[in-house]
Structure 1
Amino acid sequence: MDKLRNMEVFVTVAETGNFSAAAQKLGISAVMVGKHIQQLERHLSTRLVQRTTRKQNLTEAGAVFYENSKRVLEQVKWAESTVEGLQTAPSGLLRISAPVSLGANVVSPLLARYLEAFPHVQVELTLSNARVDLIEEGYDAAIRIGPVGDDRLVARPMKPYEMVICATPAYLKKYGTPATPEELKNHSCLIHAVWNHSDGWKLTNTDGSTSKWPLSGRYISNDGNALRCAALQDAGLLLQPKVLLADDLACGRMVSVMEDFVPVPRPISLVYLPDFRPRPKLTSLITFFAEQADY
């Protein structure tokens, strides 16, 4: 017995209302439609369709089986289209949104390599610390730091941001070098508004547990680069992704502190809308970012 074919015939009967209309739509005889339904009913040991002269109505079991069968057939079509999509070269415009610092320092270099690998794709990258609405604003994908916060979206985890606490040598010489989280309240901390660091910095303790520690600071910004610039002017302690401060740390403009208390990494996700037929350009981007992100 071809279960998928029987389910397809049954769903068509349910949606057209009778065997004759279903037969016409499927290109088979009404007698053959009846045989498919009978096979299903024998297999399930229950009646799915109440047969009348003009119309076939679903039984209670038939209504339940119809909803589930429809979902199964949609999943089969999706699986088939996924394979078909792999055989189609990615092309067209990809509109992507990303936070400013992450977008400029991480996403943009990744996209440059992506375009080299996929010459028929064009990319439009918009940098904004505001979370865009993919539906309303017409974006194919967005990069999110922290919780996704939208159950309409599919989220693919990327490599998380490894964080570091640091300051300039001049600041540390003037105010001292903190060694434990308890000392944070005695320092001026530069606070990232978007990441809710005004509530404290979440650190991994020496025993492996995590705690959120309260801060003392008068400088708050929603932009990481603005906070970095302030830190370089000896304004206070800075918690930022290591990749954004690599040059500053390497040349000694910044010095990492409290290395026994590692900041909890920030999760990063590539988000997009679910699509019944996967688009090769988006599928290729998802795969490329998963494999090539090396920050």
Structure 2
Amino acid sequence: MDQLAAMSTFVRVVEAGSLSAAARAIPSSLTSVSRQIAALEQHFGTPLLLRTTRQLALTDDGRLLYERAKSIIGEVKEIEAALARDPRQPSGRLRVSSPSLLGRLVIAPMLTEFLRRQPALSVDLLLVDRAVDMVEEDIHLAVRIGRLSDSQLIARRLADIRMITCASPDYLARRGEPRTPHDLTSHDCLVFSDAPGSAEWRFADGSRTGRKFRISGRLWMNSLEALVGAARDGAGIVRAPSWQVEHDLAAGRLQRLLIDHEPAPTPLHLMLQPSRLASPKVRAFVDYLVERWRRIDAFSAPPDATRRVDSHSDT
């Protein structure tokens, strides 16, 4: 049995939804497809598919094999492409995921220059506010905000994102500047949330995690972009990621508040599978993003470290 060919056929069967559909797509005979699936099940000593008259379903072992086989086949294709081209020139398709707001405002604007530098590469940018399954969804790189759980993924720390509390000079001239987090109960705060209610912001208090302080929410939105716009117009005090308000602060449209009470920064990482680390296109994008991030956020400095995520470490 050609194990790689059989795994490729198995992946096609799962994605096509039936043996006959996979046979047409390959193309191959239905008998050949059935024999390869049976050979795989005999080789691994376990059923991979549950067959009914209407559909196919994966067993638990079948799902494990599907995820791993899809990744292996993708890596083989990358190797074939690498051997057929100038090894100094990254090429192919790169799939990247990012949280929606960060991806739209920061990552997407960087892609024009990246594609100009790498004419043999194309990029799929997936904007989703969830942790993607990098194997199942064939993601080469994932941008993630926050502390990381245990994982066999490789993490490259890009930056420490600070949450900046700020307001327009016009608002502060009218209402005065808060000196402590307690003062926010007497101010108009602009709150990022899907549902109005009681609101709290976390500030430093000497402990590792900080302390939550109740604030007075005057305007609630589920769009940080709109909230920052309202703050520029003098509607109140907003808290937003450093990269989102950097230009407004530099231009004087917003003024930074409660600096001595700012909470600990939140780490921003690039995640990749260990098997992707040597890929020229992955390394090209990692190097480019690290280079660009050094220049876009004056409030954070990314350390020069690539590491494996373990033991809930976040440094």
| TM-score, with structure 1 as normaliser | 0.59
Q: Deviations over 1:2-33 (max 9, x none)?
A: xxxxxxxxxxxxxxxxxxxxxxxxxxxxxxxx
Counterparts of 2:213 and 2:287, CA distance in 1: 39
Report deviation, 1:229.
Answer: 2.5
Report if aligned partners of 2:203, 2:213 keep a CA contact under 8 Å in 1. no
Letter of the 2:118 partner, please give it: F
1:170 offset after TM fit, Å?
Answer: 3.5
Q: What is aligned with 2:183?
A: 183
State the partner residue of 1:133: 133
Q: Is the 8 A contact 2:147 2:266 kept in 1?
A: no
The residue aligned with 1:286 is 286
SS in 1 for 2:274: coil
Give the match for residue 13 of structure 2: none
Q: Are 1:236 and 2:222 counterparts?
A: no
Judged with a 3 Å threshold, the aligned counterparts in structure 2 of structure 1 residues 213 and 277 are, in CA distance, closer, same or farther, namely closer
Change (3 A) 1:135 1:291: same
Q: How many residue pairs end up in the alignment? A: 209
8 Å Cα contact 2:140/2:276 also seen in 1: no
Q: Which residue of 1 aligns with 2:144?
A: 144
Cα distance in 1 for residues equivalent to 2:163 and 2:148: 19
Which residue of structure 1 lines up, in the alignment, with residue 154 of structure 2? 154
Determine whether 1:107 maps to 2:107: yes
**Cα deviations by residue, 1:41-64 (Å, 9 ceiling, x for unpaired):** xxxxxxxxxxxxxxxxxxxxxxxx
> Counterpart amino acid of 2:256?
S
Letter in 2 for 1:132: V
Structure 2 counterpart of 1:126, which letter? L
Paired residues for 1:141-220 under 5 Å: 141-149=141-149, 151-193=151-193, 200-204=200-204, 211-216=210-215, 217=217, 219-220=219-220
Identity of counterpart residues, as a percentage? 33
CA distance in 2 between partners of 1:201 and 1:108 (Å)? 29
Deviations 1:111-145 (A, max 9, x none): 33332332211112233334433333332222111
CA positional deviation for 1:91:
0.7
1:189-235 deviation digits (Å, cap 9, x = unpaired): 333449xxx87434345x79762232322544454213213323433
Per-residue Cα deviation, 1:31-85 (whole angstroms, up to 9, x for no partner) = xxxxxxxxxxxxxxxxxxxxxxxxxxxxxxxxxxxxxxxxxxxxxxxxxx9xx99
Residue 276 to residue 142, structure 1, CA distance change in 2 (3 Å): closer
Which whole-Å CA distance do the structure 2 matches of 1:221 and 1:144 have between them?
23
Match of 1:73 in 2: none
Classify the secondary structure of the residue corresponding to 1:139.
coil
RMSD: 3.3
Distance 1:270 1:214, change over 3 A: same
Is the contact between residue 276 and residue 282 of structure 2 (CA under 8 Å) also seen in structure 1? Answer: no
2:251 maps to a residue whose letter is C
State whether residues 167 and 234 of structure 2, in contact with CA within 8 Å, keep that contact through their aligned partners in structure 1.
Answer: yes
Inter-partner Cα distance in structure 2 for 1:279 and 1:132: 20
Structure 2 CA distance for partners of 1:282 and 1:220, relative to 1, 3 Å: farther
- The letter of the residue matching 2:185 is K
Structure 1, unaligned runs of 5 or more: 1-80
Matches within 5 A, 1:209-288: 211-216=210-215, 217=217, 219-275=219-275, 278-288=278-288
Distance 1:131 1:190, change over 3 A: farther
CA distance in 1, matches of 2:209, 2:110: 32
Greater Cα radius of gyration, structure 1 or 2:
1
Cα 1:125/1:174, change in 2 over 3 Å: same
Q: Counterpart of 1:136 in structure 2: which amino acid?
A: E
Does the C-alpha gap of structure 1 residues 135 and 227 become closer, same or farther in structure 2, counting only changes over 3 Å? farther
Shift of 1:178: 0.5
- Residue 43 of structure 1 aligns with which residue? none
SS at match of 1:293: helix
Distance 2:285 2:187 in 1: 43
The 3-state SS of whatever aligns with 2:103 is: helix
Cα distance per residue 1:129-177 (max 9 Å; x no partner)? 3443333333222211112447253321112223321012343344331
Counterpart mapping for 1:62-81 below 5 A? none
